[in-house]
Amino acid sequence: MEKKNIQLGTRRSLLAWAQSSWVAREIERLNPGLKVELFGIETRGDRIQDVSLQKVEGKDFFVAELDQALAEGRVDLSVHSFKDLSLQRPSNFVCAAIPKRANPRDVVLFGPHTLEKLRNGEKLKIGTSSPRRLENIPSFLEKALPRLSSSAPKLEWVEIRGNVNTRLSRVHEPKSAPKQLDGVVLAFAGLIRLWADSAGQSELRQLLSGVRWMVLPLDENPAAPAQGALAVECRADDTEVVQAIQKLHHAPTAAQVAVERKILAESGGGCHQRFGATCFATAAGELTWIKGEMPSRGQVQEIQWSPPQSPSGEVRTWDGGLQRGDSEDSVTRLMPSGSTDVGPAVFVGHSRAAHGEWVEHLCQSRVWTSGCSSWFKLAQQGIWVEGCAEGLGFETLMPTLKEPVLGLPELAGWSVLTHDQAFTEWLQLGMRAIGSYTVHVKYPDWVREELRSATDVFWSSSSQINGLKGDLPKNARHACGPGKTAEYLRILGIEPLVFPKGEEWRKWIKNRAAH
């Protein structure tokens, strides 16, 4: 291209500068000989810090000044957090690239006084200014925070504005300080990008010291549409710059963002929405979680996805989620024969794995678990859980665990607390498996008979399949959730239909029966 130097317009905040610097270096890497210089611009959203965005008139609080500079030719391109962009953009601009998205989840970071306050039954003050977050997160945290006193956690929500580093600094204020907060809600993507930037990491390292993490699951707390994605815009008629930027484009991210923004458009758009919508690739296919208050539909909590095509014919179901027969009486809790040290990081495969002496040691480790149901039960035992696999299998969680900003050990430094027949699959990942319980399944004859005659079967665990291998029906459609259960069926030579949750399989069956 003829141009050798181009100007990139960006907000001056630490995060905006970090993500714009990354875009600039990527453009230079993909276009040898081209130099990208950053041009800092202050926006109205940066100037007005003491007023809620809901009370500020107009829109595009964080982009209007960047748009003006781009339209006037003072800069050649601009980088935005895509969630900040309104649905209608200037017709003379083009979004030439949407780079690969960072983790779209929200996180809550808690300060050093949190555990003490929970033990004393005191209120936790948590900062956010997002209507969506205020709609979904409070009820989740009431169940997800560890029960350390006789009463459920009490939460007070405080409106907060400012840059990431400014907001995060408030959890380190003295308890008596007027601006002190016990927690702040932030976009995980912003922390990831700051950590990848040398200046950002230098600032974050001290602010993250001593904090406790909670990475919020998408099934209970979907993010703002397009959260975690960047939009790189330029003038539509500047073909040289368009071509240089297009090399950053990541089509899968663009497709997911389009799904989310379509849902936003159907609800009227705007940054004041009280619902989240996140599209995400999983082993069960592309899932879109929607939850919150939608203007036209009221309270919504659903998964949008494309289930398998429904075959015709008679339907005889065997639902392992309802008929598996492994009651608490059939579970034997195994006590440690030697050291109970579970190490610095632990994945708890099921809430029943945490009992007795194990609970005390889990309280000294960084704990992650399989899904929200196990998370809430562990929290009831006083265990701090940092995040979960959302019921989608451990492999879905692995990219999150590997984010450097979390400071977690490599998988070889992890322990897995699970049942005593699940060692092999975890050892293959290089993790230390600890059997803390065993399952004794005794199925009545009528259950086995129903299984043998079923046309459609849903399995809830690999141990359940193992206990019924002799009764597997021929020519049946076998279904399960993502993860270890699906892997075990494949080992047996069965290719399963994978559903995000058992409830989705039951809906699928019901729809088939109705037709």
- Name which of 506, 172, 493, 157 is nearest 320 in CA terms: 506
In the predicted structure, residue 472 carries a pLDDT above the cut 90: yes
- Say what the pLDDT of residue 313 is: 81
- Say what the pLDDT of residue 70 is: 97
- Name which of 28, 95, 100 is nearest 242 in CA terms: 95
Pairwise CA distance, residues 226 & 262, whole Å = 11
User: Among 239-243, 269-273, 369-373, 483-487, where is mean pLDDT lowest?
Assistant: 269-273
Cβ–Cβ < 8 Å for 35, 63: no
- Say what the pLDDT of residue 4 is: 82
In the predicted structure, residue 86 carries a pLDDT above the cut 50: yes
In the predicted structure, residue 215 carries a pLDDT above the cut 60: yes
Please write the tens of the pLDDT for every residue from 278-313. Answer: 999 998 999 999 999 999 899 999 999 999 987 778
Cβ neighbours of residue 365 under 8 Å, at least 6 residues apart?
342, 343, 344, 345, 346, 415
Q: What is the mean pLDDT of residues 264-286?
A: 90
Cβ–Cβ < 8 Å for 481, 321: no
In the predicted structure, residue 271 carries a pLDDT above the cut 80: no
In the predicted structure, residue 324 carries a pLDDT above the cut 60: no
CA angle in degrees (0–180, nearest 5) for 496-499-500: 140
Angle between helices 14-30 and 239-246 (to 10 degrees): 90
- Say what the pLDDT of residue 270 is: 76
- Say what the pLDDT of residue 176 is: 87
In the predicted structure, residue 58 carries a pLDDT above the cut 50: no
Q: What is the mean pLDDT of residues 480-496?
A: 92
Please write the tens of the pLDDT for every residue from 88-123. Answer: 999 999 999 999 999 999 999 999 999 999 999 999
Q: Is 480 left (phi over 0), alpha (psi -120 to 50) or beta?
A: beta
Q: What tokens were used for 243?
A: 């071509």
Q: What tokens were used for 327?
A: 């009651």
Q: What is the mean pLDDT of residues 260-275?
A: 89
Please write the tens of the pLDDT for every residue from 411-425. Answer: 999 999 998 877 777
- Say what the pLDDT of residue 463 is: 81
- Name which of 240, 249, 246, 236 is nearest 93 in CA terms: 236
Element containing residue 207 per DSSP (H, E): helix 198-207
Higher pLDDT, 211 or 325: 211
Q: Chain-wide mean pLDDT for the chain?
A: 91
Q: Which residues, listed in sequence order, are joined to residue 286 by a DSSP beta bridge? A: 281
In the predicted structure, residue 372 carries a pLDDT above the cut 60: yes
- Say what the pLDDT of residue 61 is: 65
Pairwise CA distance, residues 38 & 21, whole Å = 7
In the predicted structure, residue 18 carries a pLDDT above the cut 60: yes
Cβ neighbours of residue 90 under 8 Å, at least 6 residues apart?
67, 71
Higher pLDDT, 105 or 469: 105
- Name which of 361, 451, 485 is nearest 415 in CA terms: 361
- Say what the pLDDT of residue 323 is: 52
In the predicted structure, residue 427 carries a pLDDT above the cut 60: yes
pTM of the model: 0.93
DSSP for 445-483 reads HHHHHHHHT-SEEEE--HHHHHHTGGGPPTTPEEEE-SS
Q: Identify the structural domains of the chain with CATH numbers, from first to last.
A: 5-103+224-298 (3.40.190.10), 106-215 (3.40.190), 317-325+442-514 (3.40.50.10090), 328-439 (3.40.50.10090)
